[in-house]
Amino acid sequence: MSARLTYLDWNATAPILPEVAAAMADWLARCGNASSVHRAGRAARQAVEAARHEVAALAGAPADHVTFTGSGTEANQMVLAGISGRRLVSALEHDSLRAGPEIELIPARRDGTIDLAALEKMTEMGDSPALVSVMFANNETGITQPVAEAARLAHRSGALYHTDAVQAAGKLELRGVGADLVTLSAHKIGGPQGVGALIAPPDLTLSPLVRGGGQERGRRAGTENVAGLVGFGIAARRAAERAGDAAAIAALRDEAERRLCAIAPDARIFGADAPRVANTLCIAMPRVPAATQVMALDLAGVMVSAGAACSSGKLRRSPVLEAMGVPPELADCAIRISLGWSTSAADIDHLVEAWGALYVRTKVHAA
């Protein structure tokens, strides 16, 4: 096993920022319920509201549009469970949106973007939809979706428009995409795990998932995670400040792509001809199962994933690649490499060395 460790699974979770960890440690040492009226409670409330303003600024929304949740998954489920009627959801979505009851899937094109023509027809068929949900940036391929156009079609039919921006936050501008509801998650931007947010107008009626208290303006009951929310607020501010990092990260991603394809001319890059966020590379090593690649790279000290890292550690065929029409034998060989603000040229060297060594071994054994 390699002594050097290279973390290239940022889309699963980003390393927590040192300033986030320090601020959270400070708040974990304090006592105070944000719903209490004494001075400790008021201090906690002030910290929660300061974090709300930071998250709102990242989303380009008013602070009273922010409802804090326990995760991006919970925020997505709040949308599905809270809005009744026809719900049209992209076939490329994260499992937390594909899991809703009685949803209609919007087909995908082979390039990994949604089929806008199909969406338009779906909005014109049957009853008018109540909700259209299309994610901003795909968690597996990094492909960005035509969110503004999808919003236009949703609004033309009278539907609310939701976008899961978990993978887009800090990488793409969230303002001006026309979304009525937006999902965010702290741990994708250097904040703590177990904290998320739903951005939605306060006058929009949403049936709460968690009842029994008046917290979060009645949208989500339960004592606020003050330390976690403080961390979320700091991470949101830092994400906005790092917007200029995208070009350098894209250069590292493109260098990795170029060198991996030079080693393996038969490799397949998913999303190569579509717009992508700067940090994501989804690549298939033909005839080598993704599980084999993930384990071999891990033994070499390089941490990547096979598709989404949200299925209790299970490796399974990607529904995203399936929706794109990728043949099963190729989809089963796809891994996701995702970079972040601390990724270095040396990390790319390590990846290329480990992946190249595996490719050579498989060719030797095949021969």
Pairing of strands 131-133, 160-164: parallel
Is 310 a catalytic site residue?
A: yes
Question: Which tokens belong to 16?
Answer: 């927590």
Q: Which amino acid is at 62?
A: P
Task: State the virtual CA torsion across 307, 311, 315, 321 in degrees, nearest 10.
Answer: -40
CA distance 106 to 117: 10
170-206 residues labelled b (16+ CB within 10 A) or e (exposed): bbbebeebebbbbbbbbbbbbbbebbbbbbbeeeeeb
DSSP H or E run through 364: helix 345-366
Candidate list 31, 282, 310, 333, residue with the active-site label: 310
- Pull the structure tokens for residue 236: 């949101």
The tokens of 289 are what? 């199962």
Let me know the angle formed at the C-alpha of 97 by 15 and 186, rounded to the nearest 5 degrees.
25
Q: Whose CA is closest to 198, among 72, 51, 45?
A: 72
Does residue 172 sit in helix, strand or coil? coil
| CA angle 61–232–62, rounded 5-degree value | 15
Q: Which of 162, 177, 8 is nearest to 96 (CA)?
A: 162
CA distance 157 to 134: 15
Q: Tell which residue, 118, 72, 117, has the closest CA to residue 95.
A: 72
- Return d(Cα 23, Cα 21) in angstroms, integer: 6
Q: 148 near 177, Cβ under 8 Å?
A: yes
Residues with a known catalytic role: 310
